[in-house]
Amino acid sequence: MKQLKFMDFCAGIGGGRLGLEKAGCVCMGFSEIMASSIKTYNVLHNTKDEKNFGDLTKINPKELPNFDIMLAGFPCQAFSIIGQRKGFEDERGQIIYHLIKILKHQKVPYFILENVKGLINHDKGKTLITIIKALEDVGYYVGWKPLNSVDYGVPQMRERIYFIGIKKDKINSGKYKWPEQVPLPKIERYLSDDNSSILNINDKGFQKYLSNKYNKNNHDLNKILSEDYLVIDTRQSDLRIYRNKVPTLRTGRHGILYVKSGKIKKLSGFESLLLQGFDKERAKKASEKIVDSKLLSQAGNAMTVNVIELLGKSLIEYIGR
């Protein structure tokens, strides 16, 4: 079977791109508008001279190269439970229609789309139905399923909804099979940045946080410090503890800590990239060139490499039947 080509739309820092490349596909170009994300994308994928098609809403489909798979993590702020959930009233919620325009014009055989799990019940499920119908109306079979990254090769609890699209004239006699879950890896492999900063446990702010009405008498700090790789999530009010997994990485959320050698360390940008499935070589290169706070935010907005790799392999297996 020929090597499949794809376009990376709403690319972010290219977690999805790396996933499809690891599945054996080749990228024909990407589309991203955030300058900071573009800088990190170029560092992670060595794409300084590759064309960025820019603003998706202004792309002329006629100017795009031919490709087999559309990959897009279309903006989720309009549908997220942590956003205002305006959905189609928010202009970011309309991005799906610009993607559909490209699908229709290019007659793209397949697509992989990603969004937040909150899309499933947004507006009592009407938004999801509207999106699926719009995709079906331009000639696609559409399958969708919520998947959690923690079940697919990284120790991060990250639930997202994924869509698989197959042009109706490309449907074969077989059935698309969603990837099977894989064993959870040890978190030690991911919390490995010796240069990550250490939290001062005697800091007045941290001590005040521990003694607030939600946390007081609920946590023994000495016991916490005795367990290496215990993950601590300092949420807005209550502290939560996890073992061998971290909570969802999010843009603007930098309160994830962990214990190592009796000290509480702050999750670094390098480690956040590892938790999204990027390899150590790329993560190290990015951490040397990109400010740590930027990497943390960008990782929180990225696709999980492992999930997209497995979806890509499942799609390739379907095509090859």
Q: Average pLDDT in the 230-258 region?
A: 89
Give the C-alpha separation, 57 to 232, whole Å.
Answer: 40
Q: Which domains does the chain have, with CATH numbers?
A: 5-184+298-319 (3.40.50.150), 197-267 (no CATH)
pLDDT: which is higher, 124 or 253: 124
Give the C-alpha separation, 242 to 155, whole Å.
Answer: 11
Predicted pLDDT at 271: 96
Question: What sign for the dihedral angle of Cα 128, 130, 136, 140?
Answer: negative
Angle value at C-alpha 250, between 303 and 126, nearest 5 degrees: 70
CB 61 within 8 A of CB 29: no
As annotated, the active-site residues are 76
Backbone angles phi, psi at 204, to 5 degrees: -60, -40
Residue 170's pLDDT band (boundaries 50, 70, 90)?
very high
CB 232 within 8 A of CB 257: yes
Predicted pLDDT at 80: 45
Average pLDDT, the chain: 91
pLDDT in tens, 78-98: 544 444 545 445 545 488 889
Pairing of strands 230-234, 256-260: antiparallel
Residue 159's pLDDT band (boundaries 50, 70, 90)?
very high
Give the C-alpha separation, 243 to 316, whole Å.
Answer: 35
Residue 158 is encoded by which pair of tokens?
């990250």
pLDDT in tens, 116-128: 998 999 888 888 9
Residue 290 is encoded by which pair of tokens?
């990109």
Predicted pLDDT at 223: 94
Give the C-alpha separation, 116 to 227, whole Å.
Answer: 33
Give the C-alpha separation, 132 to 129, whole Å.
Answer: 5
Residue 249's pLDDT band (boundaries 50, 70, 90)?
very high
Lowest mean pLDDT among 15-19, 206-210, 310-314: 206-210
Decide if pLDDT at 70 tops 50. Answer: yes
CB 305 within 8 A of CB 278: yes
pLDDT in tens, 186-243: 999 999 888 889 999 999 999 999 999 999 999 999 999 999 999 999 988 899 999 9
| Residues near 307 by beta carbon (within 8 Å), at least 6 away in sequence | 19, 147, 149, 152, 153, 160, 162, 179, 277
Decide if pLDDT at 291 tops 50. Answer: yes
CB 31 within 8 A of CB 54: yes
Residue 68's pLDDT band (boundaries 50, 70, 90)?
very high
pLDDT in tens, 126-146: 889 989 999 999 999 999 999
Backbone angles phi, psi at 143, to 5 degrees: -115, 145
